[in-house]
Amino acid sequence: MKTTIIAAILLIAGAITYIVVPTKKNSNMNFRQRVTKVFYPLIMKLSPSNSLTNVGDHQVKPIVDFYTLNAQLIDGTVLNFSTLKGKKIMLVNTASDCGFTAQYEALENLYQQHKDSLVIIGFPANDFGNQEKYSNEKIAGFCKKNYGVTFPLAAKAVVVSNKNQHPVYQWLTDASRNGWNHQSPTWNFCKYLIDEKGTLVGFYNSSVQPEEVLVSVCYHSGL
């Protein structure tokens, strides 16, 4: 009993120290970012795991070819989606100050495990809670230093449905383009999955872990 209590105290003390006292490893994280990283497991535990997930028998051929799209990356280069044919693609709207920001680590792990057959593209966006207010340069540095991100990041963009919405998200959220789905992102770190033929497979809410996408019914063909 005493051992358990001591371990709990040490764990809490370590968490508080990580949050309050910046270290070399987290020196470019602000207070909020350190708090959310420490408490991310609790955030995930309290979040409904499959709310607003929109998947099923939606193997409908897109009306607008997905591979005609492109995205300017955070380093200024352009990624033409035609170069991604034959791979599954996960598109995620991201933010640096969100309770789900620690999903960057899970996304990077997934990418490293399956990058021969899976591409992950992050779309930093300030559309929810003013949680991505930084410049492209600062976002890139934050992701690399704190989460080791190597998967492509797009330049900061708008992902919600309005006149400034990024063309990729216009395609993802408009059934007259993708063939069946109207669901827009509901918060940061929502995921859309595209199969090897450029067909939209499904929408996954923020609380669905990246690795959980792999075991969804529509994605169970494997990597």
**Among the listed residues 29, 188, 15, the one whose alpha carbon sits nearest the alpha carbon of residue 93:** 188
- Tell me the residue type at 70: N
- State CA 10 to chain mean position distance: 32
- Tell me the residue type at 99: G
Q: What is the chain written as a DSSP string?
A: -HHHHHHHHHHHHHHHHHHHS--TTTTTS-HHHHHHHHTHHHHHHHS-TTTT-EESS--PPPSS-GGG-EEEBTTS-EEEGGGGTTSEEEEEEE-SSSTTTTHHHHHHHHHHHHTTTEEEEEEE---STT---S-HHHHHHHHHHHH---S-BBPS---SSSTT--HHHHHHT-HHHHSS--PPP-STT-EEEE-TTS-EEEEE-TTS-HHHHTTSGGGTT--
Catalytic residue among 98, 143, 190, 218: 98
Examine the residue annotation and report whether 98 is marked as an active-site residue of this protein.
yes
Active site residues: 98
